[in-house]
Amino acid sequence: MLFQSDKPVDNRTLDQLAERAAALIAGAEKIVVFTGAGVSTESGIPDFRSPGGIWDRFDPDDFTYQKFISSASARHRQWQLLWKERLTETVKPNLAHHAVAELHRLNKLDCVITQNVDSLHQAAGVPEDKVFELHGSMRRVVCLQCHRRYTMPEVKKRLDAGEEVPDCEACHGILKPDIVLFGEMLPDEVFSEAASRAEHCDLFIVAGSSLVVYPAALLPSYATDAGTELIIINLSETPMDQQASITIRAKAGEAMSRIMQKLAGK
C-alpha cells in the first residue's frame, strides 16, 4: 500500500496524495474510472440517500419497477418526481467530469463505468462508446411494449403541457425513463462488458462512490483480484479501502483536478 488517509485531507496532504496518484496514472495506459453519486452532487444533482436527499421527501417503496408497470398511480408519482425535481435539466459537468475527459484526451482512458444517470461524462467530452451507464440514463425514455425510444426533452414537453402519465405515441404502451428502478436488474450486456474492462485495465480509479450498491460495487474487486492498482477518492470510507493503493478523503472534483495538475507537470 502506497498511502492511505483515514480522515479528510488538508491541502498539503492532498498534494502528496495527488502526486502519488499522478505517478500511477503516468505509468498506466488502460485506466478505468468508476464514478458514483459523489460526482453528480458536485454538479448540483441531489443525492437520493443522504439526509435531505430525495428519499427524505419521497417514499422509495413507491419507486419500484414492479409498481411502475402495475400501477398507473405509481407511474404518475414517478413521472411527477422527474417533472417537479428537474433532476438533470440544468446541470453541467464539474471538475471531476472534466478531469476524466482529460484522461481520454491523453489516450489513457479505457472507459468510464458510472452509477450515475445524468450522462455528464459525455457532456464533458468522453465518447459515448467509452461510457458504461450501469443504471441507465435520464436522457432517454423507452416504451416497454414496442421499445420505441424518445428523448427526455420530448417527453418533458408533454409533461409541461399538462400530460400526467405520458404513454407511447406509437402503440400507447407504458413509457419508462431508461434508468434502472428498484427491483430491476442491471442490463446484463452493460455489466458484463464493464466487468471485463475492470478485469483487464492497468489502473482502476473510484471517484465519489461509497461502494455499497451491488452488484456495481463488485467491480473494483475484479480489478484488484487481477492484480491492478486501485485509487479511491471519496469523502467517506468504503469496503475496498484496505485493497486500495491510495485512498483520498476529499471531494471528487477537487482531488481529480489536483491529480491532473500534478500529471501535467510530469
The structure's pTM equals: 0.89
User: Is 172 assigned a catalytic role?
Assistant: no
155 and 224 co-located in one domain: no
10 and 113 co-located in one domain: yes
- Sign of the alpha-carbon torsion through 72, 77, 80, 85: negative
Give the count of domains, the chain.
2
Highest mean pLDDT, choosing among 89-93, 115-119, 230-234: 230-234
Residue 7 has pLDDT above 80, yes or no: no
Report pLDDT digits (tens) over 75-112: 888 888 776 555 556 789 999 999 999 999 999 999 99
Q: Is there a contact between 40 and 118 (Cβ–Cβ < 8 Å)?
A: yes
Q: Check residue 170 and give its pLDDT.
A: 96
Q: What is the dihedral of CA 35, 38, 39, 43, to 10 degrees?
A: 160
53 and 173 co-located in one domain: yes
From 156, 179, 202, the end of a domain falls on 179
Q: Check residue 2 and give its pLDDT.
A: 44
17 and 129 co-located in one domain: yes
Q: Check residue 90 and give its pLDDT.
A: 74
Under 8 Å CB-to-CB from 123, ≥6 apart: which residues?
92, 93, 97
What does the pLDDT average to over 191-216? 96
What does the pLDDT average to over 159-176? 94
Catalytic: which of 97, 104, 121, 135? 135
Length of the chain: 266
Residue 28 has pLDDT above 80, yes or no: yes
Q: Which helix (H) or strand (E) holds 175?
A: strand 175-179
How would residue 3 be classed by pLDDT, with cut points 50, 70 and 90?
very low
145 and 209 co-located in one domain: no
117 and 131 co-located in one domain: yes
What does the pLDDT average to over 25-50? 87
Percent of the chain with pLDDT over 90: 70
Nearest-5° Cα angle at 197, 133 to 152? 10
State how far the Cα of 132 lies from the Cα of 142, in Å rounded to an integer. Answer: 18
Residue 56 has pLDDT above 60, yes or no: no
Q: In what order do the strands lie in the sheet with 175-179?
A: 149-151, 136-143, 175-179
Report pLDDT digits (tens) over 247-260: 999 999 999 999 99
Cell numbers at 138, concatenated: 435520464
What range does the domain containing 50 cover?
Answer: 46-87+140-179
